């Protein structure tokens, strides 16, 4: 894998999700990393959330499907964004119509695009890192 590719991926990742709150970006990154089984990324994003003050129960909950989170752990908007991340990461299912409507109730077009950017960049990193773990 060339250094140019990794540098380009770093650049994409640095700009991904700008319209989103940093906490939500890290939550999405952690959830996607768990879905992809990328231990090094999951550790990195868990540590980032912990340093930002996220509660340990939230960090550990992101290892499970959003629908299994206990009520009140995340806002309804954050849950919708995390659910979208799950759907986008599980490519065979595709983007469910109900999911588009649900996430659209909480995020504008720029924010929705930002969620998709974060998921895409995290999926790319996970695949690269899993190849060298």
**DSSP per-residue string spanning the chain:** --HHHHHHHHHHHHHTTTTS-HHHHHHHHHHHHHHHT-HHHHHHHHHHHHHTT--HHHHHHTTS-GGGSPTTSS-HHHHHHHHHHHHHHSGGG---HHHHHHHHTT--HHHHHHHHHHHHHHHHHHHHHHHH-
Q: Convert the pLDDT of each residue in 25-41 to its tens digit.
A: 999 999 999 999 999 99
Question: Can you tell me which residue has the tokens 């550790």?
Answer: 43
Query: Which pLDDT score, from 0 to 100, does residue 44 have?
Result: 93
Span 3-132: which CATH code? Answer: 1.20.1290.10
Return the domain boundaries, the chain: 3-132
- The pTM of the full predicted model, rounded to 2 decimals, is 0.80
């Amino acid at each position: 894998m060339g250094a140019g590719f990794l540098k380009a991926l770093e650049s994409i990742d640095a700009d991904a999700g700008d319209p989103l709150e940093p906490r939500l970006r890290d939550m999405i990154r952690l959830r996607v990393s768990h879905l992809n089984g990328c231990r090094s990324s999951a550790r990195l994003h868990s540590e980032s959330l912990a340093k930002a003050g996220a509660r340990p129960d939230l960090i550990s909950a992101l290892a499970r499907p959003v629908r299994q989170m206990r009520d009140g752990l995340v806002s309804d908007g954050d849950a919708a964004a995390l659910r979208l991340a799950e759907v986008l990461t599980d490519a065979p299912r595709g983007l469910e119509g109900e999911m588009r409507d649900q996430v659209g109730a909480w995020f504008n077009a720029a924010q929705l695009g930002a969620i998709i950017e974060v998921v895409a960049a995290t999926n790319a990193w996970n695949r690269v890192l899993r190849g060298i773990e």
